[in-house]
Each structure stands twice: as structure tokens, then as C-alpha cells.
Structure 1
């Protein structure tokens, strides 16, 4: 039989042979393991923070490191693809083929939803912009009863609606209420004007539209005519009333154009 020679040898010889074979296998395994794991070969991790990822990647791989982008964030004051953080830290001693994890600055700024800043104080609006990675652009002050309150939010002169996607780092212009001015002017007479015409008159005089009430049969303000306003142009003694710049004026609109007034004081009463 093929294994008859084993049974013919003394037991101690078989045991010795098994030990010798086992030692040879273990030695071969350890030698192979050293080659596979590069045992005894170490590298010093270089400083790569502040350098361009696209440039440094090939250099690290040539030196025996593996490179993995662990995270990417956006900082508008740094160039794109700049390495912000690395692990292991510089000067650390590691084995060959050790992975270096990098955090880099995004090449393209991510988008965020535009917050609703209308009605916020200027300070709170500024904090909200900063928390979302947005910048403060121009500040435009307009007469308004509520001082330092945000009246509008704009990009390049156009209103930006809340929830609209905006790139981080974008400058947002804010229209801020400057309070009621000390200047007084005669109350403009809006009777008989369409709402767009009256709105233009108010804007020219630095007066803000307050409560706008529509009659039941009127669905669109642009189709309405003004038949009542508060404050009125004249008082009961037909003396001109004055209004402060930035003050509010309430108006009522009807679908039909009101009849011409017979005197300086409107005789139409609110419905």
C-alpha cells in the first residue's frame, strides 16, 4: 500500500517527521505574511493640509499610500479641492499601503433653501444667513414703521422667494425698515385711483400700504379702485392732514370706479 512505509517505521520517527513538516509550513506562512503585509516597512505621513487634492493625490500614491476622500465641505474663503483635514496626522509613522483619509473643500458650492427673512430683525437675519453659508450683500433702507425689520430679500435686485435653491456663498441683499422719518408731508388723495396707480403714488412719497381691504365682488387688486383711505387727505374742518414718511395708509377697493367727489372730503363711508 502507498502508506505502508509509515506503519513500518517506529512511532517516534513519525512524530518527528510531523513536527518537522509543521515547522516548515509555519515558517513558509510567516515569510509569505511578511511579504504580503510589508512587515517592517514603515512610512512617515507627510503634511498635505492646505494643498490641492488633485496635485497631491498622485504623489501620495507613488509614496505607497492609499488616498480616500472621507468628506467634503464648503468654505467660501478657500479655493476648490483644497485639503482641509487629514488622518493620520502629519509625521505619524504608518505601514506601507496605509489609507490616508482626507476632507477637502467642495469644487462646486452646494445649494441650500433660501430662508424666509421677511419680518426678522436685521441681526437675526444676519445670523440666519451665516448659519446657512450665505453672505450679506447690500443693505437698502426704506422708510417703514418697524425699524430694522427685513422688508424684502433680493439677489441682484430681484426678490428671492423662501425655499428657492441658492448656492452657498451667494450674496443676499436685504431691504431694511428705517423707521418713520421726522419729515411730514400732506396726505396724498388716492380717491378714484386704481390700486397700481395708488401704490406708485405711495412709493413716490415714501408711504407704505397698510391694510388693503377688497369688496366681496373684487378678486384682483389690480382691477380695484380706491374709494376710502385712512388717513384722509383733509380733516372735518377741511384742513390738510399730514403723514410721516414711512407711515402706513389703509385703503379699500371696489370693482366699480367711485363717482367724483363733490367736495374735498370723501362722503363715501366704508362698507
Structure 2
């Protein structure tokens, strides 16, 4: 077996196989070196702060590929100005390498206008500010939708929800200020239904019930009656009912009289108008009553009679040494007063009682 292994034919085949393998490896490396430009490097040119058009032209001349990426808009730099390049300027790359350019866009990125029509103005303003739109002028317009956002204006033109505007754009908004009062109702009798709708809408009213005489829905029918009547005053947004027919209003006079008896109230002007007066009751001042002066009425004096004294026994003569004595007689007890004896032996008259005061009210 060893003899057959060292046969010259086997050795020859082995040498040929090794040579083929080495040749294939050598060719592979040579192809890779040629394909990847091994040993051939190009420095990245500095195109920062140049315009994107000049930067692209320089990269094409050096044999480098490029990709343009727009970042967020920065008003400090010029539009389409190159802000950054990757790989960094001065780096050596192979021929055909792709470099990335970051360019300042022309303006802010566009955003979609949110749907805030007919929404409350406070919430609408908050939503517009969140997406990056700045509110300029606020225009108030008569409308039954008070404090609702009616329209959005950009450079004087109305903008629909979903339209794309540059971020931080200044927009104007139209807000409802409430309905107008006491607007005269237009006369649409004799007009077609289509014309009447336009006149009513222009006068800031709304079309209510439209009743066709023949039951059709033809917009060319002639209006022969309306409610409320023309010349009446109503607030903005009120509905106006219409009656239409193929016939003229003169041919439908009986129908008009019938509708007048229903929708027109007749006012009797023969009676004088009732006038109402407001009566204000004011408090009256009553002066205080002066008190009645009191009058003194003297009380009549009682009549008193004195009983005569009886002297049965004579009194002894008074000596000079004896002191005079006081005695209380019947008269003194009746009057309640004490009297001194008279030196001459005469008796003093009894003292009259004082009159009492009587108050008569």
C-alpha cells in the first residue's frame, strides 16, 4: 500500500491540486484588491457652510457619493446651507465612498392644520399652539355660534383642516361674536326656491320648512307665502318657512288668506292702548302727638264741726310758780296737731288741711 502511495502518478496529481488551490487564492486576493481599490484613499473635502449645490459639485469631482439629509430648520443659518458632513472633513476614504450631508432646509417643516372648526375658541387656540401654529389677528364675526372658531386664514385665504403649512406660520382666526339682533326679514315672495335660499342665507337667516303645493321638490317653484312676514325683525339664525307652487301668488289668493288666518295675528287698533303705571308707596312721616297738659282740680274741703266743751268743774287757779301744761283735747286729736296755750286765755282757730292734687288724664 505504501508503494502505491508513493507512485509517481499520485504525487503528480497531488502537486497539481496544490498548485490549483494556491492559484485560486492568489487570484481571489488580487480581485479584492482591485475591486476595493486597496491602497487608494481620497481625503474628504471640507464643504461645511457651503451651499448644497456647491458641495454636491465638489463631491462629484472627487469621485465620492453623497446623501443629503435635511435637519430641523434653524433660522440662524442660510437655507440649503451644509451644516455637517460625515465622515468628518480630512478623513481618508476610498474612491466611491458615500458621505452624508446635513443641510439646513429652506423653511420650517410642514405640519397638518388640525380640525378645530366650530370648536370652542379656547380649546382651538390651545390645539393650534401645540402643533406649532402662531395666532395673529382674532376677527370677530356675527354668528349664532358664539365663541366658536369659524375659519382659519393664512395670508388672507381660508385654510381647510388637514392642509399643510410651515411650522410656526402666523395664521388669523375668525371667531363668532353671537347672533345679531333685530334684523329685518327679506321679502322672498315671487322668487324661486333656489333664489329664496340664497337671499335668506345672505340675510343671515336659515331656511326652515319648504312646503310645495304639488308635493314636488322642484327648486324652480315660486314662493307664494313666507313666515315670518317680510319687514318683521328677528335675531340672526332664525328659520323662515316657505310655501311654493307652480302657480303665481295671485292665483293662490285664497290659500294666502287661509295661511294669514293661521300665521298672522290681527290686532284691534280701535281700542285705546292699555297703559300701566307703576305706583310706588312711600312711607309717610307721622309727627309725635304732644302730651295733654295736666290740670289740677282742687279737692273740696271737708266741713268740720266742733263739739262744744262742757265745763263741769272749775279749774284751779294757776299759780305763778306753776309751769303751763299742754293738754291734748278732742279737737287736737281730731286734727293731729299740738298747739301752745294762749297767754291771754283765747283759743287759736284750727289749721285748715291742705288741698290734694288730683290729676285728670
Contact 1:218 1:224 in 2 (8 A): no
TM-score (norm 1): 0.53
In structure 2, the residue matched to 1:253 is 242
Q: 3-state SS of the aligned residue for 1:215?
A: strand
- Return closer, same or farther for 1:110/1:94 CA change in 2, 3 Å cut-off: same
Q: 3-state SS of the aligned residue for 1:119?
A: coil
CA separation in 2, counterparts of 1:125 and 1:210?
29
Contact 1:84 1:102 in 2 (8 A): yes
CA separation in 2, counterparts of 1:83 and 1:8?
75
CA separation in 2, counterparts of 1:37 and 1:210?
80
CA deviation after TM superposition for structure 1 residue 41, in Å: 2.9
TM-score (norm 2): 0.43
Superposed CA deviations along residues 28-77 of structure 1, whole A, max 9, x for unmatched, are: 835861673344736457464x65322210112334421134x6799697
Contact 2:185 2:234 in 1 (8 A): no
Q: How does 1:103-182 map to 2 (within 5 A)?
A: 118-122=117-121, 123-124=123-124, 127=127, 139-152=138-151, 168-169=165-166, 174-180=173-179
Q: Which runs of 5+ in 2 are unaligned?
A: 1-6, 190-195, 265-361
Superposed CA deviations along residues 55-103 of structure 1, whole A, max 9, x for unmatched, are: 210112334421134x679969799972678673645946223212456
> Looking at both structures, which has the greater relative contact order when contacts are Cα pairs under 8 Å and sequence separation is at least 6?
1
In structure 2, the residue matched to 1:82 is 80
Corresponding residue pairs, total = 234
CA separation in 1, counterparts of 2:176 and 2:152?
12
Superposed CA deviations along residues 11-44 of structure 1, whole A, max 9, x for unmatched, are: 59x8599579928963883586167334473645
In structure 1, the residue matched to 2:310 is none
Contact 1:195 1:225 in 2 (8 A): no
CA separation in 2, counterparts of 1:227 and 1:72?
63
Contact 1:214 1:221 in 2 (8 A): no
CA deviation after TM superposition for structure 1 residue 119, in Å: 1.8
In structure 1, the residue matched to 2:284 is none
Q: Which runs of 5+ in 1 are unaligned?
A: 1-6, 203-207, 234-240
Structure with the largest fraction of strand: 1
The answer to whether structure 1 residue 269 and structure 2 residue 263 are counterparts is: yes
The answer to whether structure 1 residue 22 and structure 2 residue 16 are counterparts is: no
CA separation in 1, counterparts of 2:219 and 2:114?
28
In structure 1, the residue matched to 2:33 is 33
RMSD over aligned Cα, in angstroms? Answer: 5.8
Larger Rg: 2
Residue of structure 2 aligned with 1:215, choices 211, 215, 236: 211
CA separation in 2, counterparts of 1:178 and 1:222?
36
- Return closer, same or farther for 1:93/1:226 CA change in 2, 3 Å cut-off: farther
